[in-house]
Amino acid sequence: MANAGQLHMLYTCPFCWKVRGLLEHLDIPHERIQVNPMRTKKTLPSAPEWNKVPVWVDSNNEVHVDSTPIMKHIDSIHNGGKLWSSDDEERRDKWMDWVDLHMSKATIPILYGSLGSALKTTTRVSKLEKFGFFSKRLYAWAGFPVMWGIIAKKRVKKDGRTPKKLWHDLLSEFTNQFDGSMFFGGKTPDLVDLAAFGYVRSISPYPQFSQIEDHEAGMNWYRAVEATLKV
Ligand SMILES: N[C@@H](CCC(=O)N[C@@H](CS)C(=O)NCC(=O)O)C(=O)O
């Protein structure tokens, strides 16, 4: 089958993991273009209006931006909108907003919240992303004090909980919504499950993921969503 589109992405970007998970869940053939994090303004097809990843370019060369709208678009074109349809739209909308608000903010504290974890994360990011020769080295050394000392520290302090506790609370709050079902969407995952799954999965390449693996209900859900992917 021909490619349904191109996903312009960064490997380590949580918003890109959301769209990747959906494409793998629906088994949609596509091309992945890993952009140079220092050159998004020059190379993204949505630039200069939109300089963030992910960007989805469909087979008609239409450009789509912003991860949740991209997910809704892909579901509607390639899956008859089944993952977004719901008999309780209020609950669905409320929790999609909740996932995008809270889970998106929780990735930085766990990855960069302590000096050791920030160093591990930036070294790993510099290897996983397609930086240029010099920016790779620059990021590995200059990135971690910025991410740890400025961005993550402020967030952890503001929240007051350890990053692990924050994730455990989020996973409890989310899975408590399932009302005894396996997924937020009931017997099968829906778009809210896949969005939340993307945020959690974006932490999986790092050693800090073991702090999340301690959450039993969260992991049962995570592994069940993972089992639906055609990777
Ligand atoms: N709301 C956007 C957020 C995307 C986003 O912030 N992506 C980051 C990478 S994780 C980015 O491209 N940042 C570059 C910038 O803000 O210039 C989405 O859900 O797609």
**Residue that is last in its domain, among 21, 50, 79:** 79
**Cα–Cα dist 26/8, whole Å:** 18
Same domain, yes or no: 204 and 99 = yes
Tokens of 112: 């960069």
Could you read off the pLDDT of 22-35 as tens digits, one per residue?
Answer: 999 999 999 999 99
| Residue 124 and residue 25 share a domain | no
Instruction: Give the domain CATH number at 146.
Output: 1.20.1050.10
Same domain? 131 vs 180? yes
Query: Could you tell me if 112 and 222 lie in one domain?
Result: yes
Q: How far apart are CA 106 and CA 164, in angstroms?
A: 10
Express each pLDDT in 156-200 by its tens digit: 888 899 999 999 999 999 999 999 999 999 999 999 999 999 999
Question: Binning pLDDT at 50, 70 and 90, where does residue 213 land?
Answer: very high
> 60 and 117 share a domain?
no
**Statement to judge: residues 17 and 128 lie in one domain:** no
Residue nearest to ligand 1 atom 1, measured at CA: 66
- Structure-token pair, residue 150: 């400025």
For residue 71, the enclosing domain spans 5-79
66 lines ligand 1 (CB under 6 A): yes
Cα-based distances in Å from 91 to 84, 87, 94, 199, 230: 12, 9, 5, 20, 28
Total-model pTM: 0.95
pLDDT band at 219 (very low <50, low <70, confident <90, very high): very high
**Does the N-terminal peptide bond of residue 54 adopt cis geometry, omega within 30 degrees of 0?**
yes
Question: Is there a single domain that holds both residue 32 and residue 59?
Answer: yes
Last residue of a domain, one of 79, 106, 141: 79
The ligand 1 atom at the shortest distance from the C-alpha of residue 70 is 20
Q: Which CA distances in Å does 205 have to 24, 124, 209?
A: 17, 9, 7
- What distance in angstroms lies between residue 171's CA and the mean position of ligand 1's atoms? 23
Q: The CATH number of the domain where 72 resides is what?
A: 3.40.30.10
**What is the count of structural domains for the chain?**
2
Give 164's DSSP letter: H
In a domain, 181, yes or no: yes
| Residue 78: predicted pLDDT | 97
pLDDT 10s digits, 38-66: 888 889 999 999 999 999 999 999 999 99
Residue 58's H or E segment, with its range, is: strand 55-58
Quote the Cα angle for 97-108-165, to 5°.
80
Establish whether residue 11 lines the binding site of ligand 1, counting it when its CB lies within 6 angstroms of any ligand atom: no
